[in-house]
Amino acid sequence: MARRRVWLGFGLLAAALGSLQSGPAAGAEGDAFNGRLLFAQCRLCHSLKAGETKVGPSLHGLFGRRAGAVDGFDYSPGMKDAGIVWDEASLDAFLKRPKAVIPGTKMVYGGLGRAEDRADLIAYMKQALKK
C-alpha cells in the first residue's frame, strides 16, 4: 500500500515538473530552424561577417562582447554607456523590447514579445556565429 503511494506521488511530481519545463529559463535550447527565419529580419541591418557594417554593426563575435564596442560604428550614447556584456540572458532582455533596455537606441526594431521566439533566435545566432 505504502509503496504504491510513493510511486503515485513521484509520478505526479515528475509529470508536473516535466510539463512546467519550457523556454530558455529551464535551460532548454531554442529551435535554430525557426531562429533562422526570425534572423532574416536582422540581416536587413546586421551582417554576421567580421568587419561588415550595414545599417547596424557586424554581429561577428557578439557573444561575450561589451555593448557598443565594435570599432568605428557610430552607436547611440545609450548603447555606448550601457555597460552590458552580450550573452543569452542580456540578449533575451534586449530583443524583447530594444528601446526599453537602451533608451535612444538607433536600432529600429519593435522587439520579439515571445520568450520562445527569442530563444529560437538566440539559438540560431549561437550556431551561426560559431563558424
Partner 1 sequence: MKHLLRLAVGGIALSALALAGQAAAADDMDALLKRIKLPPGFKINVFAKLPKPRSMVVGKPLNTVFVGSRHGTVHSLRDTNRDGVADEISLRGDDMNVPNGIAFQDGMLYVAETERVFMWGVPAEFDTALPLQPRVPVFEGMPAEFLHGWRYAGFGPDRKLYVSIGAPCNICDLKSMEGSIIRMDANGQNMEVVARGVRNSVGFDFHPKTGELFFTDNGADLMGDDIPPDELNRVTETGQHFGYPYLGGKSVKLTGWEDKTPPKGHQAPVIEFQAHSANLGIHFYTGRMFPAEYQGDAFVAQHGSWNRTSPVGYRIMRIRFDDKGLPTGKEVFADGWLQGDDASGRPVDIKSLPDGSLLVSDDYANVIYRISYGG
Binding site for partner 1 (CB under 8 A): 2, 5-6, 8-13, 15-17, 19-20, 33-34, 36-37, 40-41, 43-45, 55, 108-110, 113
Q: Cell 552580450 sits at which residue? A: 86
CA geometry: angle 69, 62, 115, nearest 5 deg: 120
Contact 96, 112 (CB under 8 A): yes
CB 14 to partner 1: min, Å:
8
Contact 34, 101 (CB under 8 A): no
CB 61 to partner 1: min, Å:
23
Contact 76, 104 (CB under 8 A): yes
CB 85 to partner 1: min, Å:
26
Q: For residues 16 and 89, which CB has a smaller minimum distance to partner 1 in the complex?
A: 16
Q: For residues 12 and 85, which CB has a smaller minimum distance to partner 1 in the complex?
A: 12
CA dihedral 107, 110, 114, 115 (to 10 degrees): 20
Q: For residues 99 and 126, which CB has a smaller minimum distance to partner 1 in the complex?
A: 99
Q: For residues 10 and 66, which CB has a smaller minimum distance to partner 1 in the complex?
A: 10
